[in-house]
Amino acid sequence: MTSSIHLRARGLHQTYDLAGTHLKVLQGVDLDVVRGEVLFLRGPSGAGKSTLLYILAGLEHPREGTIEFEGEQIFKLGSDQQALLRNRRMGFVFQSYFLLPELTALENVMLPAMLDGKKNEAKARTLLGRVGLSERLDHLPSQLSGGEQQRVAIARALVNDPSILFADEPTGNLDAATGAGIIDLLLELTRQDSRTFVAVTHDPALAALGDRQLYLKEGHLHQTA
Ligand SMILES: Nc1ncnc2c1ncn2[C@@H]1O[C@H](COP(=O)(O)OP(=O)(O)OP(=O)(O)O)[C@@H](O)[C@H]1O
Ligand SMILES: [Mg+2]
């Protein structure tokens, strides 16, 4: 059974001290994500969903707690090894697309592969085709719509063929119809390739499309709202 656990979080605590206030955001979060699972995280604004997602992805270090990803304790690795693991095995999609403005769509998608010493132009072209942007390869981000920019960001997240994809409100800046299209695309691209998908959303209709939903409230994860 243990082998089917893709990501295991234990005892996550996160606090922020800022301007004399002590904020307890995560107060003992435990989570097991099964390989191939589509999990949505929900909860009120400010509950700590983004914080939790960034910690699960190793982008932020918790005050306390552990993350085991594919059997490895990620916070025990050195920072270079953590960066390598993230670049090779994890993909991220954010609410703001974070494309590099001076690079074309194709170059933006190729970037994570190039950072790993690979020049994966064919893969980048294929992925841009899968997200429906074969005709936009040479466009700069400023020449693309919001939905198109998010499609480029999705292709970029997948170029190194990650086993897990994280998304923080990937439809947050898009209108309802465009957002629904983006979620359909994310689910198709994760399910077709048997990836694990962990995403934060405020939208109950989108969250219902996954295998499981969890709610973050008052520092803990709950099965119901
Ligand atoms: N680096 C930081 N320093 C200080 N406080 C922070 C930091 N990051 C987050 N916080 C605070 O922690 C709390 C949780 O923030 P987080 O962004 O994780 O919430 P969220 O659930 O993602 O909210 P939203 O739904 O609005 O995106 C907030 O009150 C926020 O102000
Ligand atoms: Mg957030």
Closest to 150 in 3D by CA, of 176, 177, 182, 108: 182
pLDDT of residue 205: 87
pTM of the model: 0.95
pLDDT of residue 117: 85
Domain count, the chain: 1
Nearest residue by C-alpha to atom 7 in ligand 1: 16
Strand partners, 93: 167
pLDDT of residue 3: 55
- The answer to whether 69 and 7 have CB atoms below 8 angstroms apart is yes
Counting residues of the chain whose pLDDT is more than 90, the rounded percentage is: 88
Query: Is the Cα dihedral 43, 46, 48, 54 positive or negative?
Result: positive
Ligand 1 neighbourhood includes 201 CB (under 6 angstroms): no
Ligand 1 neighbourhood includes 46 CB (under 6 angstroms): yes
pLDDT of residue 2: 47
3-state DSSP of 135-172: HHCCCCHHHCCHHHHHHHHHHHHHCCCCCEEEEECCCC
Residue numbers of the chain with a pLDDT score lower than 70 = 1-3
Residue with tokens 């090779």: 88
Give the atom of ligand 1 at the shortest distance from the alpha carbon of 202: 25
Ligand 1 neighbourhood includes 18 CB (under 6 angstroms): yes
Nearest residue by C-alpha to atom 14 in ligand 1: 48
Distance CA 143, CA 139 (A): 6
Nearest residue by C-alpha to atom 13 in ligand 1: 46
Separation of CA 73 and ligand 2 centre (Å): 25
Q: Which of 51, 60, 214, 221 to mutate to test the pocket of ligand 1 (most atoms within 8 A of CB)?
A: 51
Q: Which of 13, 49, 53, 198 to mutate to test the pocket of ligand 1 (most atoms within 8 A of CB)?
A: 49
Domain that holds residue 133: 2-222
* Residue 66 CA: distances (Å) to CA of 3, 26, 28, 149: 18, 13, 11, 34
Ligand 1 neighbourhood includes 71 CB (under 6 angstroms): no
* Residue 179 CA: distances (Å) to CA of 50, 109, 142, 174: 19, 20, 19, 5
The domain that holds 78 is classified in CATH as 3.40.50.300
In angstroms, the first-to-last Cα distance of the chain is 28
Separation of CA 13 and ligand 2 centre (Å): 17
Q: Which helix (H) or strand (E) covers residue 109, if one does?
A: helix 105-115
Nearest residue by C-alpha to atom 29 in ligand 1: 46
Give the atom of ligand 1 at the shortest distance from the alpha carbon of 169: 27
pLDDT of residue 225: 86
